[in-house]
Chains A and B, each alone.
Chain A
């Protein structure tokens, strides 16, 4: 970990001189044991480890249990708990207005897979630079236990009964919409969540991290495919992922063919150590086949499913200047009086 000691102080600080506590948030009001809280903890750790400047981060969310969580991390960052399913458009506007901001957004399976499905898809088409975390528990918590669109077929819930509809796979949807960073994880797998978040935070474009995050109150029973027990027993990582910062040296040697290294836009690398299967996350077709196969075999695969940094981001497509639109001076905003006279002459 790239931390340095302050002179005369043995507390850990990061490269910009901030302590872990500088990345903390308010005390969570979610249920004790909620998977979302462990994700918040990894967001704080990842931001600290990457030495992100809190004031340049914006924490964005929609509505739902997941969307409450940005209040529980990074208190020194501006936050916006927007409308149910509408976080993508708000992030789009905010990042166009100030392209120097780094957006970390938290959504849920209802927020993204149902009410916000259209905005999700169109955000991905536009490649808005941001981290899009989905805290996916297959159930509506705040309204007390209805099925969400990601619930597996055949699932049973105490009040909602039997789910007879097929799930929407938010990762497959992301890949089909042109997203260039698509990952799935399990909130019980802290190390993988953290490494994926670091990679996502370093990605140039929209990075989707769909994290199965058990709802301890409404969807953590034995038959649930989104419970802690199920996740622990069935999670199949497609590789062992390690994120390596630009300034860190790779010192360990691996046998040829056992590790894939993906170089990212601004210098960092992602090291993917092979596990049981051969998998190339730079292939879109491989990713879709993997997901479809996992559905058929009821497998819970996790890891970096797809990465491709080729697409320009929305601010790049719009050819925006480096000066944020929100910081333009009055002279840059208002054309001169002579310009108005010129225009008026054309209407005479």
Chain B
């Protein structure tokens, strides 16, 4: 297919020689955007998940409402490797415009399932074909003409269920889940699934060389996307104001907030104890967050790269005026509008330094669904403790694709609302200095507007100010303030989430990564181990870098910094932070809009290690 590497990362063997492959293959459904294929794909992945088999789905979709090609890839792996890999063994060719290329992308011994109204040139003899009478099966289902295009995708669900051995009861359960128990659509869709499955069985096709078999590896797990996980984290973090401007791929995070907040956040009278405002742009979105954070509410926004650019001005203000707020950046491809529906980790440097003058922001780097949930509430604790904007750098792959996870753990610590002085505190103290470093951690005490005490008020500004928040152009006031902000950054270094480290005493090499690339990194490490190359790994979970990172780097000869961007942004940041260790770092940066693969990482390291 046109946007996926043609050379597949799969075993090559002739059709006849191949033993049946069980629970270790990938398939891709090539369909038309807006045709309802997402329902078919989510039903398939859920059914496989409920069969206990490790699985991951990645949606490769165009920036378009309907009519353009879209590919949904499902990887099934008994060993739990569910990162993206190059190529798939099976293609469902349901889009006539891409069918030829989709077929060409199959490896030798692959399987092509297609709708028989697509004029496919079956010239390849190393592929097994299954032509499905999709139109006829849909017609027989009795579906309303308007719904036929939507349910047509259920034909490949039924065919794959029969060919791969996906439990049909699980298909029905997944449809019930998807349609939230609504009988009519469940029966209509399942009718097509059954008809297609029976047709495949009755027409006595060649046995499919790929099968799924039930396992018990996903028992007790959940399947969720990172945007929903992050939204849930925010709900359990007490988010009270959400202001946002629609931008792919962050929109579904706010959609999830809008889904869960009404149920879980209202007072005894049923009034909502939160507010969600769709802003006129990202400037206003973060402006409302800053206003609410200043007034004492937990406030957040969600955006992507272009929105982060617009938020730069307020990020600078929030850093210097010291106002809490949470900004989720679901990263996509840039520069400019880039590829809005493709993934990257391209906002690392711009976000860490977002603003004007000297700014360094706390950035959380989720790499799992559990991280997304945890950082959903932790970001508020850190923002209020540190009195500063906190960024969460997720990405499209984490945010919009379906991932397996253990169920989330309820927050173990009470909420940290930070240093806020009450009326009683002020009565005891008599007065306070907003920007004085009383505790030596760089964090001053603040009061909230509305505090009924004559000494409570102070004046917030982005201009120069002294410890009493009075306008000042004195050099010593400015420098003193900036030095205090440095101390605060050092405090942040101690408070942010620690990296996840897997250190092997014998390993001279290490791989350092973050975010959605972890699955590919861990799979690459296992591949390297089988080739006799031992590695350690470190997955960053936050900026600023914590001391564990330095110790880890110091303990290895070479550290490969793996990331999904063109410039090697984290590599550059590490070199900047640890100049004395900079020669140890080797950048493996890649940016083509697709998630990283284990093969790419393995080959890069092999090449460099000789």
A interface list, Cβ under 8 A from B: 26, 53-56, 58, 70-71, 75-83, 86, 88-98, 100-101, 118-119, 122, 126, 314-315, 318-321, 323-328, 330, 332-335, 337, 339-341, 343-344, 347-348
Contacts of A328 in B (CB 8 A): 238, 240, 273
B235: Cβ under 8 A from any A Cβ: yes
B445: Cβ under 8 A from any A Cβ: no
CB contacts under 8 Å to A, within B241-284, are 241, 243, 260, 264-265, 267, 269, 271-275, 277, 279-281, 283-284
Q: Assuming A93-B295, A333-B298, is B222 touching A344 (CB within 8 A)?
A: yes
B463: Cβ under 8 A from any A Cβ: yes
CB contacts under 8 Å to A, within B314-329, are 314, 317
Per-residue 0/1 for B116-131: is the Cβ within 8 Å of any A Cβ (1 yes, 0 no)? Answer: 0000000000000000
Binds A, one of B341-349, B386-394, B447-455, B558-566: B447-455
Contact B241 A97 (CB under 8 A): yes
**Measured CA separation A80–B377 after assembly (Å):** 27
**Measured CA separation A97–B293 after assembly (Å):** 8
Contacts of A126 in B (CB 8 A): 277
Contact B450 A101 (CB under 8 A): yes
B602: Cβ under 8 A from any A Cβ: no
Top-6 shortest CB links A-B: A93-B291, A89-B287, A333-B238, A326-B296, A93-B288, A97-B297
Contact B287 A98 (CB under 8 A): no
Contact B462 A347 (CB under 8 A): no
Contacts of A96 in B (CB 8 A): 241, 275, 277, 288, 291-292, 297
Closest residue of chain B to A71, judged by CB? B459
**Measured CA separation A343–B449 after assembly (Å):** 36
Apart from A81-B463, A89-B285, A343-B232, list 14 A-B contacts with CB within 8 A: A26-B470, A76-B454, A78-B447, A82-B317, A90-B290, A92-B277, A97-B241, A319-B272, A321-B269, A328-B240, A333-B273, A335-B265, A340-B410, A344-B408
Contact A337 B450 (CB under 8 A): no
Contact B222 A348 (CB under 8 A): yes
Per-residue 0/1 for B291-313: is the Cβ within 8 Å of any A Cβ (1 yes, 0 no)? Answer: 11111111100000000000001
Task: Tell me how far the C-beta of A206 lies from the nearest C-beta in chain B, rounded to whole angstroms.
Answer: 15
> CB within 8 A of A335: which of B224, B264, B291?
B264
Contact B457 A348 (CB under 8 A): no
Task: Tell me how far the C-beta of B496 lies from the nearest C-beta in chain A, rounded to whole angstroms.
Answer: 21
Q: Assuming A58-B449, A93-B291, A325-B297, is B260 touching A343 (CB within 8 A)?
A: yes
B90: Cβ under 8 A from any A Cβ: no
Closest residue of chain A to B237, judged by CB? A334
B338: Cβ under 8 A from any A Cβ: no
Task: Tell me how far the C-beta of A253 lies from the nearest C-beta in chain B, rounded to whole angstroms.
Answer: 42
B interface list, Cβ under 8 A from A: 220-224, 232, 235-238, 240-241, 243, 260, 264-265, 267, 269, 271-275, 277, 279-281, 283-299, 313-314, 317, 377, 407-408, 410-411, 414-415, 447-454, 456-463, 470-471
Q: Assuming A98-B295, A325-B297, is B457 touching A55 (CB within 8 A)?
A: yes
Closest residue of chain A to B274, judged by CB? A325
> CB within 8 A of B296: which of A97, A319, A321?
A97
Task: Tell me how far the C-beta of A39 lies from the nearest C-beta in chain B, rounded to whole angstroms.
Answer: 18
Q: Assuming A79-B460, A344-B407, A347-B224, is B449 touching A98 (CB within 8 A)?
A: yes
**Measured CA separation A126–B459 after assembly (Å):** 26
Contact B460 A83 (CB under 8 A): no
Task: Tell me how far the C-beta of B414 lies from the nearest C-beta in chain A, rounded to whole angstroms.
Answer: 6
Contacts of B410 in A (CB 8 A): 337, 340
Closest residue of chain B to A53, judged by CB? B452
**Measured CA separation A119–B283 after assembly (Å):** 9
Closest residue of chain A to B240, judged by CB? A325
**Measured CA separation A77–B290 after assembly (Å):** 18
Q: Assuming A86-B287, A334-B411, is B456 touching A55 (CB within 8 A)?
A: yes
> CB within 8 A of B267: which of A71, A79, A332?
A332
**Measured CA separation A332–B272 after assembly (Å):** 11
> CB within 8 A of A75: which of B238, B241, B273, B457?
B457
**Measured CA separation A319–B274 after assembly (Å):** 9
Contact B459 A340 (CB under 8 A): no
Contact A326 B295 (CB under 8 A): yes
Contact B222 A347 (CB under 8 A): yes
Contacts of A58 in B (CB 8 A): 295, 449
Best-surrounded residue of A88, A315, A333, A335 (most CB of chain B within 10 A): A333
What are 23 residue pairs bridging A and B, where the CB atoms are less than 8 Å apart in the complex?
A55-B452, A70-B459, A78-B449, A79-B460, A89-B286, A89-B288, A89-B291, A93-B287, A93-B291, A93-B292, A94-B295, A101-B450, A118-B284, A318-B272, A321-B271, A326-B448, A330-B415, A333-B237, A334-B411, A343-B260, A344-B408, A347-B222, A348-B220
> CB within 8 A of A83: which of B240, B292, B462?
B462
> CB within 8 A of A330: which of B241, B296, B414?
B414
**Measured CA separation A98–B295 after assembly (Å):** 7
> CB within 8 A of B273: which of A26, A56, A321?
A321
Contacts of A88 in B (CB 8 A): 284, 287
Contacts of A323 in B (CB 8 A): 267, 273
Contacts of B264 in A (CB 8 A): 335, 339
